[in-house]
Amino acid sequence: MHHFFGWPDEIVLLCISSLDQSDISRITQACRHAQRLLTPTLYAIGYRTALPWAAKNNQKQTVEHALKYSRPEKTVLFKALVAAAQHDHVEIAELLLDHSAPTELELELEEGQASAGIFHYEARPWKHSPLVAAIVAGHPAVVSLLLAHDARTDVPGQWGYSPLHHACEKHKAPVCVPLLLAAGADVHARNQDGMTALDLASEHRGYRRTPSRAILRHLFLATGGSVLALPSSSGASIVRRIISNGDEDCKRPVLEFGISLIPAIASSEILLAAAAVGDEENVKELLQVGAQGLDVEGTTDRAGNNTLMLAVKHGHNAVLQVILQRVGGKIQIRRN
């Protein structure tokens, strides 16, 4: 071995080129001079698997070597950035971005293929951008970094989802929502099913969950409440959905932002929310503004509770008195 490495470097590299990566790896382990000589060659050969593997496993030195000794294609840099974003490796993501890793690829990417050798990387589908990968995994620090490097918020991905759609559906990291909104994410964008981010934030669908109060508030703040005027994909009232499915903390922001901005929504529906949370002032205002056609008893939530029932159920006696004055003390008692 020592005699072999006494040869000129060019001859050694020529001989090494006929070996496979596992043989080269054993040689570098046996001799420090071989390690110094062959490290650039190893990374030049194996960077396509080394870089994504190292990004996934937070191996900063390996990432640095792969970037130093090779010229990775955009596809390889993109895959590595997705891996770093998905696993919340901020330093690795920053390294890759500093080496011009793209935040989007227009071409459809194939699944990474693991090749035999000293670096093994698990094949993964690359259906998400790094930004979406970070959002879905709930990593706001990586989201901030990517947005600072001009990651786009208007690029629809699988199912026509924008990054904001993913942030509002998953409910994992509500803090990602204001980051996207501050970067110009479009609250009016619809996915292939015609759903906006507000639809997803307020829709329980198959997840058996209540709407996210934090996400709703962020959407309301960013739009001054006007987002509530967006028609839902199903044609049903989004306000009605929030009132029926949301907890009291979800109803409050609807009352705070919605009453003067959503004339298309029946006052009776908003009155349900006011009764549920004990908002006496809004109840009085609604009863005055919506005197014509206001259906106090007939408008119900998903469980069949009308305004009066909700006031009684939650012990809001002051609200109950205001409503009773409106209906003249005539109420119909029902048992659910």
pLDDT tens for each residue of 29-48: 666 666 666 677 667 777 88
- Same domain, yes or no, for 223 and 270? no
Rounded Cα distance, 298 and 204, in Å: 24
Residue 312, in any domain of the structure: yes
Whether 205 is in a domain gets the answer yes
For 97-106, how does the pLDDT look when each residue is reduced to its tens digit (9 = 90+)? 999 999 988 6
* pLDDT score recorded for residue 258: 55
Q: pTM of the entire structure?
A: 0.68
The CATH number given to whatever domain includes residue 186 is 1.25.40.20
The values of phi and psi at residue 79, to 5°, are -60, -40
Are residues 15 and 46 located together in one domain of the fold? yes
| Half-sphere exposure for 34 (CA within 13 Å, toward CB) | 17
| Shared-domain flag, residues 254 and 322 | no
Per-residue pLDDT reduced to its tens digit, 104-119:
886 444 444 333 333 3
Flag whether 13 is in a domain.
yes
Quick one: 159 and 241 in the same domain? yes
* Per-residue model confidence as pLDDT tens digits over 210-255: 667 778 888 877 877 777 766 666 666 666 667 666 666 667 776 7
Residues 166 and 242 both lie in one domain = yes
Taking residue 54's Cβ as centre, other Cβ atoms within 10 Å add up to 27
- Are 167 and 250 in the same domain? yes
Decide which of 73, 102, 123 is a domain's last residue.
73
The answer to whether position 116 is within a domain reads no
Cα 32 from chain centre: 46
Question: How many domains does the chain fold into?
Answer: 3
Tell me, yes or no, whether 335 lies in a domain. yes
Query: What pLDDT, on a 0 to 100 scale, did the predictor assign at position 80?
Result: 96
102: in domain: no
Q: Extract the tokens encoding 220.
A: 């309301």
Collect the ranges in the chain with pLDDT lower than 70. Answer: 1-19, 21, 24-25, 27-38, 41-42, 106-127, 170-173, 203-211, 229-241, 243-250, 254, 256-266, 289-293, 302, 327-336
Q: Is 316 inside a domain boundary?
A: yes
Per-residue confidence (pLDDT) for residue 264, from 0 to 100: 56
User: What ranges in the chain are assigned the alpha helix state H?
Assistant: 9-16, 21-30, 32-56, 60-69, 74-86, 90-98, 130-137, 140-148, 163-170, 176-182, 197-202, 213-223, 238-245, 248-258, 267-277, 280-289, 307-313, 317-327
Range of the domain at 53: 1-73
